[in-house]
Amino acid sequence: MYRTSGSISSVLGAFHMAEVSMRYSLFVPRLYNLALSLGFEKGKIMPSRAFCSDESQGYPIILIAKHFGTFPFNHGRVGGIVATDRHGPHAHHGKDLIIVQASHVGYDPQTGSFGIYRRLQTEHQEDSTSCGKICGAIDWYLHEYEFAKQNIFLTTDGKDHLVIIDNQLLHTERDEGLLLKLERLINLDDHGTPMPKQCLSTSKVFKASSVLESYLDNYEWKAEYKDPIGEHLHPDLFFYRRDVSQHAEGGDHLEPNLLEVMPYVVTSKWPALTAAQANTQVEFDRAYRTIIKEPAYQGKKLLFIAGLNVDISPQPGQFFPLTKFIPWAAYYQDEQGKQQTWEQTDLFEQLIAQSTENSDQIDMETAIEIMGNVDEIKLPF
């Protein structure tokens, strides 16, 4: 989990996007060939996927089955959370093991918007949020941010730059809500206590801090009217407090993953994309630590890759999304216990060096036809 605002912004900034993205139809054969280059045995590889349960994740699953010759083990919970209690069963289902973890986000190419996906099976093929779990988790935080943006005002008395803050936002002992880092917004006295210049009916007026003034270096302070702070409410100026379940991999597991990074999520251009990116980063770190401690994985080849699935809404005539994979990091171990962690650049270079041709892939139509034509086996009921 991220601990300081500096580390949050630097870690999020380390996640490159466009330059490392690739179609799933290219990623999966590269992944297969990467496994072979590491000594994984053909026909003995058990892939596993930790994806959300959305139907948009079906196309990647089909491609994994096609190239690895088996349906992948299910390692995922809604939202792209890794079910770490399934490590043991996964280990028992194959000689060599692969895990692909990916949070996902929808993309509408017509509007250029992330967080939206066209549901073909709805009555009118409506667009809806995607990932719905991630969008649902951040919705409360977005509303809190919108309230703060519209209830903090900037003005000047001709002498000082002033900040007018709604009284609710000044209640720092609240159990839940968006809480301001007042020491970065306004001037405090020598004891760290806010000292208002004026008390109004529902708000208080303070002198702006030098930190806030530095963020608003090019801002035109006006005396004629008060201007909502709006998009100038920088993520370093607030944090969130909320009572969410800390139960590992429970229904609310996603929110603890995002709580510290949430100011950067709600202030980003595409909150759903930033949240999915952050969740992938947190889940890789968390799941990696459980994998290296799992007794059932000892003495086995294992490759764990984390990334982001971008589901591009199907266009007319398409049945599936044009899903792209953005790799983040990977962990590899061999039978002797040698371990390697690959950062994003290392992982991308490993993948891009592999061929996109796979002579071992199966013809899904032929495989289904064979199963439909074999003699029926009667069950002994």
Residue 140, pLDDT score = 96
Structure-model confidence comparison of residues 190 and 145, the more confident one:
145
Question: In this structure, are 357 and 321 located in the same domain?
Answer: yes
Number of domains in the chain: 2
293 lies in some domain: yes
231 lies in some domain: yes
- pLDDT average, residue stretch 178-187: 96
Question: In this structure, are 107 and 180 located in the same domain?
Answer: no
Question: In this structure, are 275 and 326 located in the same domain?
Answer: yes
Given a cut of 50, whether residue 188 has pLDDT beyond it is yes
220 lies in some domain: yes
Q: Distance (Å, rounded) from C-alpha 82 to C-alpha 50?
A: 5
128 lies in some domain: no
Question: In this structure, are 85 and 156 located in the same domain?
Answer: no
Question: In this structure, are 229 and 283 located in the same domain?
Answer: no
Q: Which residues contact 247 (CB under 8 A, 6 or more apart)?
A: 253
Question: In this structure, are 229 and 286 located in the same domain?
Answer: no
Question: In this structure, are 230 and 156 located in the same domain?
Answer: yes
66 lies in some domain: yes
Q: What percent of the chain has pLDDT over 70?
A: 94
381 lies in some domain: no
Question: In this structure, are 231 and 287 located in the same domain?
Answer: no
Q: In 3D, which of 345, 274, 331, 333 has the Cα closest to residue 308?
A: 274
Question: In this structure, are 232 and 275 located in the same domain?
Answer: no
Tokens 């990696």: give the residue.
288
Mean pLDDT, the chain, rounded, equals 92
Given a cut of 60, whether residue 6 has pLDDT beyond it is no
Residue 4, pLDDT score = 39
Residue 248, pLDDT score = 66
- pLDDT average, residue stretch 323-330: 96
pTM of the model: 0.90
Residue 9, pLDDT score = 58
Question: In this structure, are 147 and 104 located in the same domain?
Answer: no
251 lies in some domain: no
Question: In this structure, are 277 and 215 located in the same domain?
Answer: no
Tokens 């004026």: give the residue.
198
Of 2-6, 173-177, 253-257, the range with the lowest mean pLDDT is 2-6
3-state secondary structure of 43: coil
306 lies in some domain: yes
194: containing domain: 141-241
Question: In this structure, are 50 and 91 located in the same domain?
Answer: yes
